Amino acid sequence: MIVLDMSMSLDGFVVGPDDSVEEPMGRGGFRLFNWLDDRDSDGPSGQVYREAMTTRALIAGRRTFEHAGRWNGDHHDGVPMFILTHHVDEGDVPPGTAVFVTDVAEAAARAKEAAGDRNVLVHGAGAGQALLKAGLVDEIEVHLVNVLLGQGRRFFDNLPAEYIELEPIRQLVDRDVTHLRYRVVR
């Protein structure tokens, strides 16, 4: 199962303005990760964090991957990472368990195969949008953070004007965040 998993401000941003390699979350965007201070707690934020860590493959967009310093080749516990990109420079071999993939359906298929009976985690607005457009997303977990950022990069953007119906699975409230999980209805 493929799960989009993103921390998002109430106004829809996953990264603040002017994101770059030097400032991967954009100006002020790390505000969205304050809730991760509770990742080791017994509360809801700990629960959803531990769930995310049980995923056994990752799909991410190239921009997210580069801005995160290619995660030094390891996102969590050495799970395979499939990095969606339009173009691969000759000789550019990503580190660790990462591979570049140029086709979204191929990325989804390979990630699901790698994950076996566990879930695939998707990080990054670009990868999320590509998978949503292709109808390949099973669930969406939004960590809705109690802040308006005003500007930045949006989680949901550049999608066609078509309904995607969602079925709510779970709502968990914790310090600074509401964790909302939905199933994508197909």
Given the rule CB under 8 A, which residues bind a second copy? 10-12, 16-17, 27-28, 31, 132, 140, 142, 144, 146-152, 154-156, 159-168, 171, 173, 178, 180, 182
d(CA 37, CA 74): 21
Q: Which is nearer to a second copy, 65 or 155 (CB)?
A: 155
Q: Which amino acid is at 165?
A: E
Yes or no: say if 155 and 8 are a contact pair by the CB < 8 Å rule: yes
In the complex, the smallest distance separating the C-beta of residue 41 from a second copy, rounded to whole angstroms, is: 17
Angle between helices 104-115 and 125-133 (to 10 degrees): 100
In the complex, the smallest distance separating the C-beta of residue 166 from a second copy, rounded to whole angstroms, is: 4
In the complex, the smallest distance separating the C-beta of residue 29 from a second copy, rounded to whole angstroms, is: 10
d(CA 39, CA 53): 11
Q: Which is nearer to a second copy, 98 or 180 (CB)?
A: 180
Q: Which is nearer to a second copy, 61 or 152 (CB)?
A: 152
In the complex, the smallest distance separating the C-beta of residue 141 from a second copy, rounded to whole angstroms, is: 12
Yes or no: say if 125 and 155 are a contact pair by the CB < 8 Å rule: yes
In 3D, which of 88, 113, 115, 122 has the Cα closest to residue 102? 88
d(CA 184, CA 132): 9
What are the tokens at 107? 């990325």
In the complex, the smallest distance separating the C-beta of residue 37 from a second copy, rounded to whole angstroms, is: 16
d(CA 186, CA 177): 28
Q: Which is nearer to a second copy, 116 or 160 (CB)?
A: 160
Q: Which is nearer to a second copy, 99 or 173 (CB)?
A: 173
